[in-house]
Amino acid sequence: MDLNRATILGRLTRDPELKTTPNGKSVATIGLATNRVWTNAGTGAKEEKTEFHNCVLWGKLAEIAGQYLSKGRRLYVEGRLETRDWTGQDGVKRYRTEIVVDNMIMLDGPRGTETGNRPVAKVDYSEPALPTISADEVVEEEIKVEDIPF
């Protein structure tokens, strides 16, 4: 048995880019940044490294991301790693590894308001609270590489 699973909790590095495939399927791309902090064994100084992750959301998840997410918001995502390849206009073959998201939880309130370090959704009574959304709840259809608009 194999397992391809990615779990990320980070901040959005940009607003979602929401597009529609030629067959009408919604797709969004987001960037998430995660930080790792450690103490250097030799110097005792704290060090930090930021990793940037490319994520793709399909269908209803993509639409929700486009409507509710914005740069700087904290987001928890679960999904699988996929690498796609294409040939650029310069004739060079390119590769991109992405997390194809099938579950997400928004961890702070609308427009980036903080809830502290607690990994819970903030309830803002001016906007309806969103439940955890899973791609399993969305009707799946086959997606062809040539349908991806980016």
In a domain, 107, yes or no: yes
Confidence class for position 99, pLDDT limits 50, 70, 90: very high
In a domain, 40, yes or no: yes
Q: Which helix (H) or strand (E) holds 99?
A: strand 93-106
Q: Looking up tokens 């969305």, which residue turns up? A: 138
Q: Does the pTM exceed 0.75?
A: no
CA distance 35 to 74: 12
In a domain, 11, yes or no: yes
Confidence class for position 108, pLDDT limits 50, 70, 90: confident
Confidence class for position 98, pLDDT limits 50, 70, 90: very high
Q: Calculate mean pLDDT across residues 36-60.
A: 94
Of 25-29, 101-105, 138-142, the least confident? 138-142
CA distance 150 to 148: 6
The answer to whether 20 and 58 are in contact (CB under 8 A) is no
Q: How far is CA 114 from CA 33, 74, 108, 110, 119, in A?
A: 17, 9, 6, 9, 11
Q: What is the mean pLDDT of the chain?
A: 82
In a domain, 1, yes or no: no
Confidence class for position 132, pLDDT limits 50, 70, 90: low
The total number of structural domains that make up the chain? 1
Amino acid at residue number 66: G
Tell me which residue range forms the domain holding 32. Answer: 6-147
CATH number of the CATH domain containing 61: 2.40.50.140
Q: Identify the bridge partners of residue 49 per DSSP, sorted by sequence position.
A: 36
